[in-house]
């Protein structure tokens, strides 16, 4: 395996949590709910999955616990913004702070523990192809899962009736309610799905990417995933492309540091975040507005009765 191939492999690993978290948030936002608590839900997912995986010595149980933790955090968020129609931005920020704190508490007994790498599934034949073989056909379950999830979300949104309902509700909840669509129920499910995905993304970080838990290990990835949804113009296919671009940026800055690039390491660590701001800036310069933003995004819905 050449250095080049090794770098490509780490890019896949770095990109997968971005993709999973962004897909979940994308579904929630298409239903009209802006959940800024992504970072907090990912932290909870990372802490709970690591705790469960160490306790039961099973990465699978760990992943399940991570998704569950994310979904529970999302349920709390849903109670506040759907049940009580509270401000989504404020509630989401509060959820991030809560998640970061709570995850530190849950993860504290497990600081210093280390997990073994999880198994890779090698597809015979295909994995022997040059370059792309090891890159795409000898990966762990999460990587395959995230690619399948991208297809599934795209299919769900654009080819199923439930997806059409979800998009309609996100586009205009007043019209949707007038037509009798269950606005709050669909939003609840979308938010829970978003939370489970965020939890899973967090689980991937602690179980596969670092294989240990430490507070602050999410390190702004939740915010990048949020920006990614805008970058993707709320489309799953573009979320895949964007996740790999941001993943590449975050890996290449490490290699640039290792190669003594001549720039201070702090500047290089800032590259993925600066890239996020730059991409958002370019997008809004080109379109003048957030193209494809669901019409009701972020506005609370109170049914008239």
Partner 1 sequence: MNSTTPALVELRKISKRYGELLANDGIDLAIAPGEIHALLGENGAGKSTLVKILYGVIEPTEGQILWQGRPVTISSPVEARELGIGMVFQHFSLFDELTVAENIAVALPATWTLSAVRARLGDISRAYGLSLEPDRAVWTLSAGERQRIEIVRCLLQNPNLLILDEPTSVLTPQESEHLFITLEKLAADGCAILYISHKLEEVRRLCRNATILRAGRVTATLDPRERSAREIAALMVGNEIGEVKSSGVHEGQAEILSVQNLSVPPAGLHGQALIDINLNARAGEVIGIAGVAGNGQSELFAALSGETTVESASAVIINGKPCGSFEIDQRRKLGAAFVPEERLGHAAAPTHRLSENILVSHHAVGAVSKSGFVVLGAARKLARTIIKGFDVRSPGEDAQARKLSGGNLQKFVIGREIIRKPKLLIVNQPTWGVDAGAARLIRQALVDLARAGSAIVVISQDLDELFEIADRLAVIHHGRLSPVKPTPEWTKEAIGLEMLGVGHDREAGHAA
Distance, in Å, from the CA atom of 105 to the CA atom of 119, rounded to the nearest integer, reads 29
The span of 67-75, 128-136, 267-275, 291-299 binding partner 1 (CB under 8 A) equals: 291-299
Examine residue 171 and tell whether it contacts partner 1 (CB under 8 A). yes
Minimum CB distance to partner 1, residue 41 (Å): 27
Contacting partner 1 (CB under 8 A), which of 181, 219, 241, 252?
A: 181
Examine residue 286 and tell whether it contacts partner 1 (CB under 8 A). no
Examine residue 180 and tell whether it contacts partner 1 (CB under 8 A). yes
Examine residue 288 and tell whether it contacts partner 1 (CB under 8 A). yes
Examine residue 290 and tell whether it contacts partner 1 (CB under 8 A). no
The span of 19-27, 157-165, 183-191, 221-229 binding partner 1 (CB under 8 A) equals: 157-165
Smaller CB separation from partner 1, 150 or 168: 168
137-163 CB burial, b ≥16 within 10 A, e <16: bbbbbbbebbeebbeebbebbeeeeeb
* 220 touches 100 (CB < 8 A): no
Examine residue 27 and tell whether it contacts partner 1 (CB under 8 A). no
Examine residue 85 and tell whether it contacts partner 1 (CB under 8 A). no
Distance, in Å, from the CA atom of 29 to the CA atom of 19, rounded to the nearest integer, reads 15
Smaller CB separation from partner 1, 4 or 286: 286
Measured CA distances, 58 to 61, 105, 150, 187, 210 (Å): 5, 21, 26, 32, 16
Q: How many residues form the binding site for partner 1 (CB under 8 A)?
A: 21
Minimum CB distance to partner 1, residue 87 (Å): 12
Contacting partner 1 (CB under 8 A), which of 87, 127, 174, 257?
A: 174
Tell me the sheet residues that pair with 121: 139
Q: Find all residues with CB under 8 Å of 220, minimum gap 6, and list them.
A: 39, 273
Report the candidate in 294, 305, 228 with the shortest Cα–Cα distance to residue 88: 294
Contacting partner 1 (CB under 8 A), which of 178, 270, 277, 302?
A: 178
Examine residue 292 and tell whether it contacts partner 1 (CB under 8 A). yes
DSSP labels for 107-172? HGGGTT--PPPPPEEEPTTGGGSTTHHHHHHEEEHHHHHHHHHHHHHHHHHHHSHHHHHHHHHHH-
The span of 37-45, 86-94, 163-171, 278-286 binding partner 1 (CB under 8 A) equals: 163-171
Examine residue 124 and tell whether it contacts partner 1 (CB under 8 A). no
Contact mark string toward partner 1, 38..67, x via CB under 8 A? ------------------------------
Contacting partner 1 (CB under 8 A), which of 129, 152, 179, 270?
A: 179
Q: Find all residues with CB under 8 Å of 251, minimum gap 6, and list them.
A: 7, 10, 11, 14
Bridge-based pairing state of the strands 120-122 and 138-140: antiparallel
Inter-helix orientation angle 183-204/221-231, to 10°: 130
* Interface contacts to partner 1, rule CB under 8 A: 161, 164-165, 167-168, 171-172, 174-181, 288, 292, 294-295, 304-305
């Amino acid at each position: 395996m050449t250095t080049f191939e090794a770098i490509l492999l780490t890019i896949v690993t770095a990109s997968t949590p971005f993709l999973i978290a962004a897909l979940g948030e994308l579904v929630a936002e298409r239903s009209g709910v802006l959940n800024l608590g992504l970072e907090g839900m990912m932290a909870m997912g990372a802490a709970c999955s690591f705790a469960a995986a160490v306790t039961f010595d099973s990465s699978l149980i760990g992943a399940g616990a991570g998704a569950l933790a994310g979904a529970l955090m999302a349920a709390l968020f849903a109670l506040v913004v759907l049940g009580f129609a509270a401000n989504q931005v404020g509630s989401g920020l509060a959820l991030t702070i809560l998640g970061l704190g709570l995850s530190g508490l849950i993860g504290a007994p497990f600081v210093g523990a280390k997990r073994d790498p999880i198994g890779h599934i090698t597809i015979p034949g295909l994995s022997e192809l040059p370059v792309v073989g090891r890159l795409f056909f000898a990966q762990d379950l999460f990587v395959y899962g995230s690619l399948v999830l991208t297809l599934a979300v795209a299919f769900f949104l654009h080819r199923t009736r439930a997806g059409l309902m979800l998009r309609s509700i996100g586009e205009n909840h007043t019209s949707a309610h007038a037509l009798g669509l269950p606005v709050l129920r669909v939003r609840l499910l979308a938010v829970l799905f978003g939370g489970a995905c965020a939890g899973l993304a967090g689980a991937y970080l602690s179980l596969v990417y670092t294989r240990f838990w430490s507070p602050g290990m999410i390190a702004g990835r939740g915010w990048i995933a949020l920006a990614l949804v805008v970058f993707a113009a709320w489309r799953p296919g573009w979320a895949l492309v964007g996740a790999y671009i941001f993943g590449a940026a975050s890996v290449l800055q490490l290699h640039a540091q290792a190669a003594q690039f001549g720039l201070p390491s702090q500047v290089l660590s800032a590259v993925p975040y600066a890239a996020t701001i730059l991409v958002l800036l370019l997008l809004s310069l080109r379109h003048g507005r957030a193209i494809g933003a669901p019409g009701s995004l972020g506005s609370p819905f109170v049914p008239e009765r």
